[in-house]
Structure 1
Amino acid sequence: MVYNSLTEIPRNVKECFDWLIAVKGSSRFNTQALGFALHNFLVDMPVGLTRVPSLEMVKRFAKGFLEQKELKQEPHVTCLLAKYRSPMNKTDGMDMKRLFCYNESDYDNVVKSKNISRDEMASIVARVAGNCERFLKRIKTPAQYESAYSSEATWEASCALKPTECAAILVGIAPMLYAGLISLWISSNPELFGEEKSVKEKRLGRVMKILGFEEPGCREDLTRISVRQALVDMDKEIIERIYEIAGFWAFY
């Protein structure tokens, strides 16, 4: 399926990448505008549970994606799904939770606590979009790759008049991006002692397919090593920023 508007919600990680690349377009001001809108969306969100109608729709698609058989047993996905299934307790023992929680943004508005400015948020969005584009360049078959978003799906046409709606989409798809990238890192790890290389490669192939990266759009000769090399820009720091964009302190 090809979408003609950026207000159409991505259904898998590949479509999330396509969405960000379509937002980016050919002007750096597009990711800047999305970053500013994202900052406005998150900066004043209190710790608790806030229901935003435009975000709730995106969350439903993301939850459905994470519930796929091949993903939902992974520890990092299980942890995410728990947040969708019942609201996080953000009233009891908050001092201890803030002290020992792995992700600060689960219980604090990190946009405020880290004093993230509008320009810094725009820079984060630009980095994520650029890194998605570089990853795709390394794994795709250019002549056969099809973006989920047509040339009509641009920031100017879809988001310029309603930037908050597009910011909500980015917030909602952030858990998909986070889970997908972690799964790619895990699946492209070296074989364990005694583990057959063919088993590892088949597992990686299944994960790639679930995330949306399939032939003929993606190279048929992809291996664990080539996928790991393609992930070089998706490091721990950028994955942490993606997690923070999800706004778990406010929406789950």
Structure 2
Amino acid sequence: MVYSSLVTAPSNMKEAIDWMAAVKASGGAQSLAEAVAELFKVGSKGKYDLGIVEEVRHHVKLFLQKPGLKEHAASRQIIKKIIETSVKFIRTPHDDKRSRARLRYKMRLGKKPRKKGSKADEEDEKKYEVAPDKPPVYVISNNLTSVEIKKGVQDSVEKFDTLLKKIKKGQSYVSSYDTSAEWEKCCAPDPLICAQIFVGIAPLLYATSRVLRYVTTFTAGVYKIADESRKLGQFFGLVGYDVENDINARKTVDIFRFNVDFITENFAMRLNELAGFVKI
């Protein structure tokens, strides 16, 4: 699917990277960084409705629960954080399965499950339900300085834009955002909307970039990155790419390993911090 506006949030890794590239191409990287810094400032005080962040995170959670992604530690970490920090909680069958698995584990340890309707259940209800007449109040963490936030955002935009140039297949690549998706047209009227989208997709990029680095490491270097019979090619298909048309068929895994060198522990952790999680 191709979107014509940057206020349409990405829902997978390909779309998230395309969104970043569209922001950069339209000259909005610095403005985005400033908007995210402002969002952390007002959001950490609990005086700004961050419903867009929560909505984007919900779709991130659904994406990371896909078979092939949910098995990785980084995905499980983000799924857990999203569930814990939701204000207007949207339950899915996957969440119910996780709850039943935890219950079975406790029973094996000899712990008694709590009774339905207990005080703990009531506390959970208060934690996850919002009255229809009250908008959700969503608080994001503010552990970074304004300078660190701006640098982290601009660095993320730059690195993922470069990654896209390294993996895409020439003229056949189709971006998820067309040329009308420009910062000035879409985001400038209310920059905090696009800032919320960035904060919402940061955990997606944190998890998938770590999985990408892992899969690249454990795929034999002689194979092509677009080989769908191998783990790396399968990963690209899983995160939203049309491998045949989108991914450079000539590049080998050996060469590609240099292209993902930027996904260091420090880079990943800064993305995690820019996701703005705070446990409620």
TM range (shorter): 0.7 to 0.9
Q: How far apart, CA to CA, are the structure 2 residues paired with 1:130 and 1:64?
A: 27
Paired with 1:158 and 1:133, the residues of 2 have a C-alpha distance of 19
**Identical counterparts, % of pairs:** 30
Is 2:197 the partner of 1:169?
Answer: yes
CA contact (8 A) 2:36 2:192 kept: yes
Is residue 24 of structure 1 aligned with residue 48 of structure 2?
A: no
Maintained 8 Å contact 1:33/1:122? no
CA offsets, 1:172-203, max 9 Å, x none? 001110111000111011469xxxx8999712
Q: Give the unaligned 5+ runs of structure 2.
A: 87-139
User: Shift in Å at residue 44 of structure 1?
Assistant: 4.6
* Match status 1:205 vs 2:205: no
SS at match of 2:238: helix
Which residue of structure 1 aligns with residue 66 of structure 2?
68
Q: Encode CA deviations 1:220-251: one digit per residue, 9 max, x unaligned.
A: 2444323322212333322221111100126x
Matched-pair contact (CA < 8 Å) for 1:47–1:249: no
What is the one-letter code of the residue matched to 1:6?
L
SS of residue in 1 equivalent to 2:19 = helix
Listed one character per residue, the Cα deviations across residues 43-99 of structure 1 (whole Å, up to 9, x for unaligned) are 354499x972121211121111111011001112112111223349xxxxxxxxxxx
1:37 pairs, out of 35, 38, 46, with 35
How large is the RMSD of aligned CA atoms in angstroms?
Answer: 2.8
Structure index of larger Rg: 2
Residue 54 (structure 2) aligned to one of 29, 43, 56: 56
**CA deviations over 1:124-179 (Å, ceiling 9, x no partner):** 22221111121111111121111110110000011001111100000100111011
Alpha-carbon distance in structure 1 between the residues aligned to 2:69 and 2:152: 27
Q: Calculate the TM-score normalised by the size of structure 2.
A: 0.71
Give deviations 1:100-123, integer Å, cap 9, x for gaps: xxxxxxx96312xxxx22x44333
Question: 2:20 touches 2:157 (CA, 8 Å); kept in 1?
Answer: yes
> Residue 249 of structure 1 aligns to a residue in which SS?
coil
Work out the CA distance in 2 between the residues paired with 1:65 and 1:33: 28
User: Does structure 1 residue 110 correspond to structure 2 residue 108?
Assistant: no
The residue type equivalent to 2:169 in the other structure is T
Separation (CA, whole Å) in 1 of partners of 2:265 and 2:229 = 23
Change beyond 3 A, Cα 1:55–1:215: same
CA distance in 2, matches of 1:52, 1:108: 12
Question: 8 Å contact 1:24–1:126 — kept in the other structure?
Answer: no
2:99 matched to which residue of 1? none
SS at match of 2:237: helix
**Which residue is equivalent to 1:186?**
214
What is the CA–CA distance in structure 1 between the aligned matches of 2:44 and 2:14, rounded to whole Å?
31
Higher relative contact order (CA 8 A, sep 6+): 1
Q: Is 1:233 equivalent to 2:240 in the alignment? A: no
Q: Partner of 2:249: helix, strand, or coil? A: coil
How many pairs are equivalent?
A: 221
Structure 1 CA distance for aligned equivalents of residues 260 and 229 of structure 2: 16
**Is the 2:219–2:253 Cα contact (8 Å) retained in structure 1?**
no
Q: Indicate if the aligned counterparts of 1:145 and 1:216 stay in contact, CA closer than 8 A.
A: yes
Counterpart of 1:91 in structure 2 is: none
Q: Secondary structure of 1:70's match?
A: coil
